[in-house]
Structure 1
Amino acid sequence: MGETRYIDFSDAAIRAEAKDEYVRDLRDHHYPDLRFRYLKDRRRGAWYTVHDGKWQKAADWPRCGCKEMDARLSSIQLLRTASDRPDAVLRVLYTVGDVVSWYLERHLNAATISKSRKASCRSLAKNWLLPRLVGMPVDHLNTVTLDRLLVQPMQAQVAPATVCNAYRMLSAAFRTARRLGLLNVNPLADVRFTDFGLGRLRPKGARLFPRDVGWLMDLLTQRLLKSPGPCMLALLMLGHGTRIGETRQARWDHFDLNAGWWVIPAELTKTRTRLELPLTPAMMALIRWYKAQQNKPSVYLFPGGHGHALTGPGASLAIASLSTGAWSSHDLRKLARAGWQHLNVNYVIAEQLLNHAMPGLTETYVQGDLSALKRQALEVWHGVGTSCVDGLDLARRFDFIVNSQ
C-alpha cells in the first residue's frame, strides 16, 4: 500500500510528487471528493471522484490537467447523480477527440437515428474528424485551426457537401456537450461554415425531367421481364416518390393489395413518421405479378442475403444496372416530385406523399385525412397524365400484366 499525501493540486505539484515512489495517492483539503492516483508509469495518473461512498474513475492525467478537472468536477458529479449507470466511467472532454468520440457513442446508441445516418457519422469520425483533430485540446480549437487541419485537407479530396457534413457533425458535438454542461465554452459557437469560403452549397441538379418520362418508362417496360427486381424497385420509387432506403426494405405485409395501400412503418422512414401511400389498380397488378415471379419465398420484396432486405449498396447497384450511371435512385424521387408539380398536384399533397417534414404552421393547420386527394394525385400520375406532361401510363405500357390479373 502506497502513501496518501495531501498537497495543493497543480500539475507541477503532481509531477514533483511523482519522484517519490512511496506516494500512490494525492489529495487536496480543498477538494474532499477528489483523489489523484499514479499509474505504474508515474508520468501518468487518474482522477477519481466519490459517488455513493465509492471512488470512481473520472479522467486520465495529464490528458486532463488540474485546471480542467476543477472546471469539470461539478458537471461530473451532477451527471453521475442523474445517470442510470452511476458505476460507469464518465469522460472529461479535454480534447476534440474526446468530444467527437463521446458524441459518436451517444449518436450510435440513439434509437431514433437511422442506420444510414449512424453509418455516415461513423465514417466521418473515423476517416476525418478523429485522424485530424484527435489530440487537439478543446481550448485550442478555433476557425483558423479548424480550417488548417480539417477543412482545407478535406476540400482538396472530397466534395464541399462532405466537408459541410463533417463540420456539422463537429459543431453538433460541441453544441450538445456544452448544453449538457460537459464543456464550459463551445469554441465553435460563433463559427459558421460560410466562414471557410467554400461558397453556398446548392442542391445537386436533377438528371431526369418530366420530358424524360416517355423513354424512361420504355426502358423499364423493356427490361422488366429480364430484370424484374431492379425494375420493380425503380417503378415503386418513381410511382410514389419514395426513398431508396424505404423502398428496398419493403415487406409484403406492408402492402394491402385488397384495400390498395402501402404502409411504410415509421422506423423505416427518414422523418420517423409513418407513411401511407395509396396503390392504384395498375400498380397493384404489377406488384401481384412481381410477387408471382419470386423464386424463393421471402418477407421482403427485395431480399438480400441471410434473410435480410437488400442492402443500401445493393439497391444502388440495382438502379445503376438500369441507368448505367446516368441517373440515380434520388433522381427518380425528384422526377416524381417534378411530375406532380406539372400535373398541378397541391403542394401539401405532394409534400405528404414525399413524407417531407412539414413546417410548424402547416403541420398545425393540416390535420385532416387527405387520403382521397393523395389517391387522386397518384391515379393521374400513374395514368396518361395531361396535355402538359406525360404520366407513367402503367396500364397501357404493362397491359400484358395489368389485363391478365
Structure 2
Amino acid sequence: MRYSRDRMNFTVAVVLPAAGCGARMDLGTPKQFAYLGNKPLLCHALDVFQKISWVKGVVVVLPGPTHPNRKFLSRWGGAKVIYVAGGVTRHSSIRNGLKALSSSPPDVVIIHDGVRPFIDERTVNECATTAWIHGACGMTRPLVSTVLVPDEEQFLSRSLDRSSHVSSEMPQAFRYDVICEAYERCSEHDLEYGTECLHLVLKYCKVKAKLIAGPETLWKVTYKKDLYAAKYVLQEQSASRVNKINIWAESVAAATAIRQCVSVIEVDGYCVTHSELWEKIDVTITNQLIMPVVMVTGKGDFTQSVMNLLKRSDQQPFVSQILLILLVCFSSLDVFEIQKWISDVATSKSLSIRVIISQCQNAIQPIIENEEKLVRVVKDVLSLDGNVLSAQILVA
C-alpha cells in the first residue's frame, strides 16, 4: 500500500497498554518506567504518537490509579494524552483504554505496546489506513526460530513449518466499533488468558485482519538483554540522525526567509552561506560527520554551480545516503536540466538525492513559508524509496 501523508478522511486515536508489572525483566520496577536514554522506555513510543498531527488522542494505560509513576509520567504527556488505570490482564487493560475513548470515539484505534520504543509514522500510517479499509490490521515479522509442539509428556509431537507462520507484532489497528464489539462479546476466559486482539475480532466479529510485514525495529523489550539492545539501537539512531542543515543561498534575504521556516525542524544547528563565499561552502561539504540535509535557494545558474561543486568534492566521501535539496526559485527552471544535474551527482557520489522545487512569491518569501507544510513536505520526500530512483524531484 502506498504511504501518504495527505489529510486522512477518518479519525485516529491510540491506546498504549503499559500496565504490566514486567516480571520477566526483574528490575524491581515495571520495565516501562525503566530509563532508555534520557526518558522512560514508555515515553519513546508516546512521543512518536504525540507528534503525529493526524492522531487525535493517546490513551496510556498504566498500573492502578495510585501507582507512584502516574504523577511522574504526567510531565511527558501533552494535551492529547490521557492516563487511565489498567486491569489485571492485558485484555482488560486494553478494554479500559478503549472505554476512555467512548465519549468521542475515533474511526480507527491503534493499539501499540508501550515497551516497543522504535515505532515510526510511516508504519503507523500504513497500519491505520489498512484497518480503515479492511476492519483490522496487524504487523508481522518472520519467525526466527522453528516452533516445536510437545505432547502432554513434553516429548516432541511435531514441528511447524517456519515459512508458513509469522510472528504477531505491534502496532495493530482496528475500526473502533469492531474492536469494541469484540471486547463486549468475548468470554471471561478470553479476558483472563488471551493476548491477541486480532484473534478476538476474528472470533467474535468475523473480521479477518490484513497482515502486513513490518520493519525489524518492531521488537518488544521483554528481558534485560532487550533493554541493553534498545540502548544500543537508540545510540546508533542518534549518531545517524539529521542534526545539521546547511543553507546555501545567493542572497542574505533569501537565506533569512528559509531559515525562519527551518527553525521548526529538530536540528542542533545550521550554517548559512551565499554564493560569494565559496570557500565556506566547500568546508561545509567536506566536513560533514553526520547525515547532511542541504537546502539550496537560488536561480538555475546558482543551482548548477552548487551541483558542480558537489560533484567535484572528493576530499571526503559523504557519510549519508540521502541529500535533500530545497530549491526555492526566483525564476522558471528547466526541471529536466535539474534532473540531469542531480542524476550526475547521485551517480558520481553514490547518493540518493531528493529535490523539492518551489517558486517564490517575491524576492524574500518562498511559497512554502508555512511551517507545518514545510515540515510535512520535507518528511514526505525523505520517506521516498531511494532504491527506485537515486535522483527524485518533487514540485511543491
Same fold (TM over 0.5): no
Structure showing greater radius of gyration is 1
Q: Which has the higher strand share?
A: 2
Q: Which has the higher helix share?
A: 1
